[in-house]
């Protein structure tokens, strides 16, 4: 399964109001392992970022002036994403921006090019209801080192999210077991691993007289503390246990 962990940075919060993508970061996973086949692009959004957005990502308008427009590299992006499962934190946000960019150049939505979209925010809310589930919060909770994240960056965030996703889904492979014939006796017999212990002589270590006396004293104290109501004491007496003080039953 080819998975692409994806993140974007934008000029603002509303694609419908005209905000644009300024950075795209993608990290490829194959068999849940990083391949190094990443995609990282900056775009000229043809507009300035909002002041609040600048505080989040720190990407200046001047830096983006000579970068390609989204339309100029759209085919490269779609070729890279083709047929993959997308893994995104708060997927509705990034997908909304990608779809709007594609709409501007007359292309269908991003889901037409990929197999599926997994939202790690939704996953986290199910696993940790009522808790903070931002990327930073999940990094802290799952032991992912995010010390280098002073500002948001699409590629860095995608790399962190890949670690978070692997931790969120750790152990999932154990559920992928073929149980087709688990109820048949023959199949169970074939799967069973039997160890032959006949060659081993297990030692039998008896308690010493001192240990037996100490044990009996503890039992007596427990019985006295319960007012003589311990069931095991009554059973031992009726069976004539020599250690109980009662004579053996003939």
Q: Which residue has the higher pLDDT, 215 or 99?
A: 99
Tell me if 40 sits within 8 A of 25, measured CB to CB: yes
- Average pLDDT of span 53-58: 93
Provide the whole-model pTM.
0.68
- Average pLDDT of span 91-120: 98
Average pLDDT score, the chain:
85
Q: What is the pLDDT of residue 216?
A: 86
The dihedral sign for the CA sequence 44, 45, 48, 54: negative
SS3 192: coil
d(CA 39, CA 8): 12
**Full DSSP string of 66-109:** TSPPHHHHHHHHHHHHTTPEEEETTHHHHHHHHHHHHHHTT---
Active site positions, annotated: 152
Helical (H) or strand (E) element with 231: helix 231-238
**Full DSSP string of 143-161:** T---TT-SS--HHHHHHHH
Say which residues have a Cβ less than 8 Å from residue 172's Cβ, sequence separation at least 6. Answer: none
CA distances for 28 relative to 3, 9, 25, angstroms = 6, 18, 10
């Amino acid at each position: 399964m080819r998975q692409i962990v994806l993140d974007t940075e934008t000029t603002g919060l509303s694609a419908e109001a005209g905000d644009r993508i300024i950075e795209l970061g993608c990290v490829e996973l194959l068999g849940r392992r990083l391949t190094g086949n990443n995609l990282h692009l900056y775009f000229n959004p043809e507009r300035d970022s909002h002041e609040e957005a600048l505080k989040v990502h720190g990407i200046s308008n001047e830096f983006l002036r000579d970068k390609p427009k989204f339309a100029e590299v759209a085919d490269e992006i779609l070729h890279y994403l083709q047929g993959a499962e997308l893994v995104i934190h708060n997927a509705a946000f990034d997908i909304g921006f990608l779809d709007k960019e594609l709409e501007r150049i007359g292309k269908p939505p991003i889901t037409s090019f990929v197999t599926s979209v997994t939202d790690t925010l939704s996953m986290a809310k199910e696993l940790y209801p009522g808790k903070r589930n931002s990327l930073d919060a999940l990094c802290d909770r799952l032991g992912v080192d995010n010390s280098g994240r002073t500002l948001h960056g699409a590629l860095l965030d995608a790399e962190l999210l890949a670690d978070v996703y692997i931790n969120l889904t750790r152990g999932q492979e154990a559920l992928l077991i073929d149980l087709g014939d688990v109820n048949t006796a023959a199949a169970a017999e074939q799967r069973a691993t039997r160890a032959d212990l006949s060659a081993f002589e297990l030692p039998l270590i008896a308690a010493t007289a001192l240990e037996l006396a100490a044990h009996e004293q503890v039992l007596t104290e427990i019985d006295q503390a319960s007012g003589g109501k311990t069931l095991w004491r009554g059973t031992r007496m009726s069976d004539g246990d020599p250690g109980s003080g009662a004579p053996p039953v003939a």
